[in-house]
Amino acid sequence: MDEYPDGLAPLEDEHRLWKEPFQAWWERVGREGFPSVPRNIARHLVHRHWHHSPWMSIKSRAVAFTLECWGSSELLEKVVPASGLNCDVERGEWLLEYLLPQKPYTGRYRQNKTSLAKIMIRRGEWPTPIVIADQTTKRFLEDGGVVPDVDFVLVEGHDRFAIAQALKARGSIKPKLSVWVVRPLPTVATRQELPS
């Protein structure tokens, strides 16, 4: 987001084995560096995916973020992940199987993701809303060609989206889901652009 300015980056060690915790980063630079970005989106899209997201070109001050409640069937049918990312039912089932192993696993990645699977199975919804881009009025995402030519594109929450697809197929997803929607702000027409 905002091309990930170096001066606002979370602190890391030289091997990228340690990363500044979100709360410390948010208090140090995030709140002022991304004033129009809701805290939840800052945590999951900006901080967690710093330099690892194809959505670097989103200009935070040129978009609006709204938290909305959508019907789960409509959401899971209309939203499309970026090209090359698999978020279908089979991927969701695989994640559920992989993330809920019979044997305990102490690796941090699987522990965190195991919690995600357990929460989603228990609640029938994601623990934090996914982020989608609404391009119905204007195609505004630029990410090197992986944005499909569709109205709603999944920006963040690919594992949650895939697990939700699997839960929907099982009939155990809630009828309504919360989602963050990113929309371009309307542009102000200049005098030359106004019709005569």
pLDDT in tens, the chain (196 residues): 888 888 899 998 888 788 899 999 999 998 889 999 999 999 988 998 887 777 777 888 889 999 999 999 999 999 988 766 778 899 899 888 876 655 555 555 444 556 888 899 999 999 999 999 998 887 766 655 556 678 898 999 999 999 999 999 999 999 999 999 999 888 755 445 555 4
**Can you give the length of the chain in residues?**
196
Going by the DSSP 8-state scheme, the letter that residue 9 receives in this structure is P
Query: Going by DSSP bridges, is the β-strand pair 152-156/79-81 parallel, antiparallel, or unpaired?
Result: parallel
C-alpha to C-alpha distances, 156 to 109, 130, 194, 195, nearest whole angstrom: 17, 6, 37, 39
- Give me the residue label for tokens 């155990």: 172
User: In the numeric block, which tokens belong to residue 41?
Assistant: 């989106």
Domains, in order of start, for the chain: 6-53 (no CATH), 65-184 (3.90.1530)
Radius of gyration from C-alpha coordinates of the chain: 18
Ordered DSSP codes for 35-50: TTS-HHHIIIIIITTT
